[in-house]
Chains A and B, each alone.
Chain A
């Protein structure tokens, strides 16, 4: 069955540094991958979508890469700020179906 792993449950970094979060998947080839931000007690908020034929996508301080050979996506936040502290979820489409499959998330803490 499809499996998604976000390698770190938690990640602490210093303000101003680049945060890099990893999402790995096995047993299928998704057509696209999405990243979401979730704050405590709130619903996730969509950040970026990248398709299988795209290597990289950027939005302001965010950058996502998608390597279908390695079956991995990297999510970067440059010049990180304490306000970036949240849980970040990756999600992939299911093979042949619409509903997304979500990873467990990585809780990012940016320390001032």
Chain B
């Protein structure tokens, strides 16, 4: 938790709907990350950004989109193309190189 705020804590999506998960940080970290965690699974990288106005796809980017217009903010949109969106979504920040990642409290997304 600390200087990373994820909202909302719980989110419900209807069929065909896009939803946006918020991630804000006040740690002044350059890099921000979005992970998805399914029960009994590790963290899978969705997207990451190392500088403002630039981001890269991770391992499971299909059906997701992001933006990085400000250093403090890295919102994730789960689009209707993501057919299995139910999961725990975690945002993280970190410096570049040999540094730790710091995680938010997560958003649990479910489908109605």
Contact = CB atoms under 8 A, between A and B. Distances in A.
Interface string B46-61: 0010100000001000
Interface string B7-41: 00000000000000000000000010101000011
A98 B98 contact: no
Given A32-B98, A49-B98, A49-B100, A43 B41 contact: no
Interface in B72-112: 88, 90, 92, 94, 96-106, 108
A95 interface: no
Contacts of B100: 34, 46, 49
A64 to B, nearest CB: 13
Q: In this complex, which of B31, B58, B94, B101 has the most chain A Cβ atoms within 10 angstroms of its Cβ? A: B101
Contact of A104 (B1, B35, B41, B58): B41
**Contact residues on A (Cβ < 8 Å of other chain), bracket:** 20 to 34
Contacts, number: 55
B42 A89 contact: yes
Nearest to A93: B98
Contacts of B41: 104
B43 A89 contact: yes
Contacts of A96: none
Nearest to A97: B56
B40 A43 contact: no
23 contacts: A34-B100, A34-B101, A41-B106, A41-B108, A42-B106, A43-B103, A43-B104, A44-B43, A44-B90, A44-B103, A46-B100, A49-B98, A98-B31, A98-B50, A99-B45, A99-B58, A101-B45, A102-B35, A102-B42, A102-B43, A104-B40, A104-B41, A104-B42
